[in-house]
Amino acid sequence: MRKLMILLVTLTDISIGLQRCSDTWLDFKGYTYSVDPVSKKRIWSHCKFPNPTADSSRCGFPVDTSRPGYICDPDGIISSSNNAMIQINQQLIAIQKNTSTLCDSTEKQRQSYIVSIALIDEMRIADLQDASSCINDCNEIQPTLNTTVRQPTEGEVDKMVTNFADSLRVSWALGACDNDVVIFYSKHFNKVYTSVGSKASSFLSESKLAALHSSFLENVNNGKLEDGLLLLVDEVRTNLRSFTPAHILVVVNVVIIVLVVLFFTFFLHMSDVELNVWGNEKQWAVLDIIIKFITGVWFLNFMFLGIGNTLYRLNIWASLVCLAAAIGCIVIVYEHDVIFTSRSTVTNFNLTA
């Protein structure tokens, strides 16, 4: 694959906005890419890159699905021979459902973490130092920059990928409170970068992301890009589900339940084995009755005493028969759909003849 990249390094004129093309046949409908004359591949700019939530068809997302799309793959890097894109998108939606609510959107909808993915083949950046510099539909740099053609260094490639991902996260603006994450992959450079909002930065540190990126690229190099994306998204989901306020609430509820159970257990047990554990027994008699009634202890005592008394009076064979009958009744109750699905066919007799 060709390893040349147009690097645009010196800002000479500052202008606001992008001018329209002078030749209408060069207008790419607002999406900034140019076509490589040799490979015929599209070279993308981050400016006005398609938004998967607003333009799923240009992002290569199946149009026949009713689910919102959070993947933009305009070059078809994800295999179309299977449902990999739909599976990955379902994982992205699951992150929103399985992580803590953080804020409200402008539509008054509760939002948790929102993770999206962008994949392209080739890319270009107008200025490594200024991500706001864009390339218009006619492949013209605005603001105007002096250009030079050479092979980019490894550091420059990393900076380009970082700028592209950060710019997409800002322009897509999927999160209402900086709770969004954009995973970006460039096939031409075989580089991946994850742009993380401030809400998620504490769970997705640079060291953690470096490990995740390394695992992803290992899958890509083995021809398993789809598996790598599935694993990467799942690991991001796992990290975003770290200890949060929702987990704290669950822990507090569990602790309260355990304390209540321990109290009832202590009270019921001690009131039975220690007749005078509460001091004057008559003062606690009413409370003892109320607790035993609410907790169902009386019912359990009656049931166990009844079973024990029955087993004591009957011989072992009668007990086994009763036990087998009880097990049979339980099986019929829980498996009646399976047992009675196929009914035996019986020949119809004409009784009127």
Domains, the chain = 5-201 (3.10.310), 243-286 (no CATH), 296-343 (no CATH)
Average pLDDT over residues 223-249: 83
Q: pLDDT value at position 11?
A: 31
Judge whether 47 and 26 are in contact, CB under 8 Å. no
Confidence of residue 133 (pLDDT cuts 50, 70, 90): low
pLDDT in tens, 169-205: 998 988 888 889 999 999 999 999 999 998 888 888 8
Q: How far apart are CA 67 and CA 51, in angstroms?
A: 15
Pick from 172-176, 230-234, 245-249: least confident:
245-249
Phi, psi of 206 (to 5 degrees): -60, -40
Radius of gyration of the chain (CA): 33
- Helix 225-240 crosses helix 206-221 at what angle (to 10 degrees)? 160
More confident residue, 323 or 64: 323
Q: Own/partner pairs for 242-250, CB < 8 Å, 24+ apart?
A: 242/203, 244/99, 244/100, 245/100, 246/100, 246/101
Confidence of residue 220 (pLDDT cuts 50, 70, 90): very high
**Residue 74, token pair as written in the block:** 């305009």
3-state secondary structure of 333: helix
Q: pLDDT value at position 344?
A: 39
Peptide bond into 62 cis (omega under 30): no
Judge whether 85 and 75 are in contact, CB under 8 Å. no
pLDDT in tens, 76-125: 999 876 688 888 999 999 888 877 767 766 666 778 889 999 999 988 76
Provide the CA 286 distance to its chain's centre, in angstroms.
52
Q: How far apart are CA 221 and CA 219, in angstroms?
A: 5
Residues in contact with 125: Cβ distance below 8 Å, sequence separation at least 6, in sequence order: 8, 45, 46, 131, 159, 160, 163, 164
pLDDT in tens, 49-65: 888 888 887 888 776 66
Q: pLDDT value at position 23?
A: 44
Does pTM surpass 0.95?
A: no
Q: Which residues pair with 142 in a beta bridge?
A: 134
